[in-house]
Amino acid sequence: MTKGSFISMSRGRRIDISGPQFYQDMLTSIAHEILLELAELEKIDLASLHPEAFEQVVGITQIRLLNELYFCLGQLRALGLEVEVKQAIQDLRDIWNRYIDTTNRAEALKFHEEAAPGQLQ
């Protein structure tokens, strides 16, 4: 990529992809953006939510992570940069889970890998 190359997240945040670590920067930016959104939800005290409501927050958070990843990967592909989707999901999951651990958030907010049919978790 050339200096000053950017992609945008779905809500407008720009990610610089001109550096050698653009892939890592992209994944970190996605996780950070969703953490900011989660912080807004945490203002209502997630621990006080009914378990079903908390599960909805968890589900929506994971959907947001994947939507942003797919949105960014699509832009990379349009620029001629192919990234293995399964690997990107795993890498984002690892980054996200480290953030959850280091910020002392509920274990339930971790992004868990889906088991394939017939595979044990």
2, pLDDT greater than 70: no
What percent of the chain is modeled with pLDDT above 90? Answer: 73
pLDDT at 49: 87
Is it the case that residue 95 has pLDDT exceeding 50? Answer: yes
pLDDT for 118 beyond 50: no
Rounded to an integer, what distance in angstroms lies between the CA atom of residue 29 and that of residue 98? Answer: 14
* Domains contained in the chain, number: 1
CA distance 110 to 113: 10
**CB within 8 Å of 108: residues ≥ 6 apart:** 54, 55, 58
Task: Write out pLDDT tens, residues 39-93.
Answer: 998 888 888 889 999 999 999 999 999 999 999 999 999 999 999 999 999 999 9
What pLDDT sits at residue 34?
96
Q: Which pTM does this prediction carry?
A: 0.86
Q: State the Cα–Cα distance between residues 58 and 22, nearest whole angstrom.
A: 27
Q: Which amino acid is at 92?
A: L
- pLDDT-derived band at 3, boundaries 50, 70, 90: low
Residue 78, H or E segment? helix 51-78
User: Which tokens sit at 6?
Assistant: 């950017």
17 part of a folded domain? yes
In a domain, 13, yes or no: yes
Q: Indicate if the pLDDT at residue 17 is higher than 50.
A: yes
Structural domain includes residue 121: no
**Average pLDDT over the chain, rounded to whole?**
89
Reply yes or no on whether the pLDDT at 25 is more than 90: yes
Expressed as residue numbers, the domain containing 38 is 6-108
